[in-house]
Amino acid sequence: MDGIMNRLLIAAAAVLLWSIVLSTTSYLTGQKHQSDADRTAQLAVAESDAETLRIKNRAATAAGIRTEKAQAKTDTIFQKIRSDYEIEQRNDPAIGCVLDPVSLRLWNAANTQSDGAAAGEPDGRMRDAADPAAGAERSE
């Protein structure tokens, strides 16, 4: 009877040991898979952030290029106006700094919009004016 009890005890100990090893192995494998999943999620977030940054950088670069082109165009127009004015001033030194007809024409040419509308004229893109009564409420 002692032999059977010893065998049962050994078998129970073996099953217990096997269960502990299997549980520990499963737990560690699960930890590894979770760690890999966490790293994958972090990588996806980092890639998304990098793509967002690339998009913002492209937009900023495009805006800078548009600004530089507009400035170059403005500089060219200004140089032409200045050159025209200097030629007119050489032809008639009396025009000076007042807005005589020539200077007024040059001023108007410099301040017209590219679509031909005069500066300060409505172009249809503005919304209606705000309600004047609403201004009093906001200022209170």
Q: Is residue 120 part of a domain?
A: no
pLDDT of residue 82: 86
Q: What is the C-alpha radius of gyration for the chain, rounded to an integer number of angstroms?
A: 41
Residue 96's region, left for phi above 0, alpha for psi from -120 to 50, else beta, is: left
Q: Is residue 119 part of a domain?
A: no
Q: Kindly report the pTM of this predicted structure.
A: 0.42
Q: Is residue 51 part of a domain?
A: yes
Domain hosting 33: range is 2-112
Q: Is residue 129 part of a domain?
A: no
Q: Is residue 71 part of a domain?
A: yes
Q: Is residue 130 part of a domain?
A: no
Tokens of residue 123, six digits: 């172009």
Q: Is residue 136 part of a domain?
A: no
**Domain total of the chain:** 1
Residue 130's region, left for phi above 0, alpha for psi from -120 to 50, else beta, is: beta
Question: How far is it, in rounded angstroms, from Cα 56 to Cα 62?
Answer: 10
Instruction: Give the confidence band of 56 by pLDDT, cuts at 50, 70, 90.
Output: very high
